Chains A and B, each alone.
Chain A
Amino acid sequence: MEETRVVLHKAGEIQPTSSREYEAAGGYAGLRKALADPDQIVDMIKASGLRGRGGAGFPTGLKMSFTKGASADKKYVVCNADEGEPGTNKDRVIMEEVPHRLIEGMVIAALGVGADQGYIYLRAEYPYVRTILEKALADARANGFLGRDILGSGFAFDIQLFIGAGAYVCGEETALLDSLEGKRGEPRVKPPYPGVAGLWGKPTLVNNVETLSNLPAIMEHGPEWFKSMGTEKFPGTKLFTLSGNVVNRGVYEFPVGITIRELFEVVGGGCPNGKRLYAIQTGGASGNIIPASLLDTPMDPESCAAAGATFGAGDLMFMDENCCLLDVLENLTEFFVKESCGKCCACREGNPQLLHLVQKFRHGTAQRGDLDLLVELGSAMTIGCLCGLGQAAPNPILSVVRFFPQVFTTSDAYAKEVS
């Protein structure tokens, strides 16, 4: 099955850090068009229907319009390259193979909202990507794609690379901004949203790597072209990360709406060693776990939500028949216990209690009421936590309760007591 490469266009075929090779392959054409009529940028992005590719799916043009409309002496564009969601490494591939597309996207975004300073917040776990980005940024500066007078237009914008220090929660945009300011990365209470009061209190556009990397093609080919791919509510392509028990693990770009079955069977090549597929975690560590019977679900946010799956950042972790879901849930919940920043009580205290309950089922010591408690606590966290981390942390558990209730009800002590 052939990929539809928009963001990954020419990836692997050109020398990644060379703007000359990127340009020869059609790169920076979108920026040239954008420079001709900067006032149209935000409207074009709005018209394209582009939505965020970091997991939340917020309309990008609308987000840009908040920052564009805010009046301030200083505005920022921040690229969220803190790709911490377990089972996701699509942004890494973009930055490793076509870093200039990200740079081009950031310049277009800055031009659109009127920012003159940009940051790439790169996770510390990608030290080898840092080297590539540094080279690409230097090359872009040397060739007039960044700096005081971009391509002779008089527009000034530069990008600084900032290396995180290992914290999942910094993928949350306000936590990321606090981290950029040199503090603990704890999510802020919203509103105000970063679009109007972000970095240092100034209007700040925060976008994911893949989102920004979509801007050049939209500028070059227009919103209608973009809308011809993907679904009506979520146009364009998406980078999907396949991991776990699947033969061809990796990152693949396809139009939004491709089915999980196509990704698993045709692209992924099924489970290794002829094993049977048992479950799929969709949308990363904080996404829903669904049974193999839902393989025909299209990967778009609306279809996923209707089926009980999670679109997230397009991650699919496949689990074969040898996987124990309670073991996986224990692992996932340990992750959230460790990565909770501790700011809000619901997440700080809720996750250890979820873990305790999961472990009771795992070790066969769960009692009457424990399943209800698990669901009640999980549901309370989804509405009571301050940020997306805590709100989404119970998703895997709640989805297993829904789709695989036997995992809990057949756990030794619980089964004995309830029967």
Chain B
Amino acid sequence: MEKAVHEGLRPRITEDVLKRVAEIAGRWRGRPDMLIPVLHEVQEVAGNGIPKEVAKAVSEAMGVPLAQIYSVQTFYSFFSKEPRGKILIRLCKTAPCHIKGTKRILEAFEQALGIEAGETTADGLFTLETCECIGACDVSPAALIDDTVYGHLTEEKVVELVQTLRQREQLNGGA
């Protein structure tokens, strides 16, 4: 899932973002056990990803070696080394969804967004990922989009869903 993001799409990690990162991580200096909650929080302010400069800021503020952060962030699928889109689409591709037609749903998402799984749209709005079981087997095929499960997906529903999400973002002031 680690496809290179086009340099131009990479949201700049500003001084302000790094300051907020240091603030979050600094609260847990000397508490390496808090690394995972910190990375969750940091990722949210740093464009849905933990690029190296952000990891360095966490390392310095928490007093945790950079190698430890790299080791943890690359282990868990919810963390990314690259910034991602504002909206994360995680399409479940595990067996209970697979036998209910995830492949067609993936193609529908790819077509509606104009990107492949693992990529981010040019406007930085969407990242499409496939993921393992999200525990929504009762409504498969299903996707977890940010914090919400969308189930009983069909090709038509995917088109509508992408449109709705785009409109919602435009109302909220764009990407």
Contacts and interface: CB of A to CB of B under 8 A. Distances in A.
Interface of A: 83-89, 92, 123-128, 162-168, 179-185, 241, 243-245, 249-251, 281, 285, 317, 319, 323, 328, 331-332, 335, 338-339, 341
B123 interface: no
Contact of A317 (B32, B96, B131): B96
A88 to B, nearest CB: 7
A332 B34 CA distance: 33
Given A86-B94, A182-B32, A281-B95, A128 B137 contact: no
Given A184-B72, A241-B137, A319-B99, 4 more contacts: A164-B36, A183-B71, A185-B76, A241-B138
B33 A182 contact: yes
B72 A180 contact: no
Contacts of B37: 162-163
Given A244-B99, A317-B95, A164 B72 contact: no
Size class of the B contact interface (CB-based, 8 Å): 35 or more
B140 interface: yes
Interface of B: 32-37, 39-40, 68, 71-72, 75-79, 93-96, 98-100, 131-140, 144, 146-149
B76 A167 contact: yes
A260 to B, nearest CB: 16
A282 to B, nearest CB: 13
B99 A166 contact: no
B100 A244 contact: yes
A182 to B, nearest CB: 4
A87 B96 contact: yes
B78 A166 contact: yes
B132 A84 contact: yes
A245 B132 contact: no
Contact of B95 (A125, A167, A332, A338): A332
A245 B95 contact: no
A48 to B, nearest CB: 28
A126 B135 contact: yes
B40 A85 contact: no
Given A166-B77, A338-B132, A86 B96 contact: yes
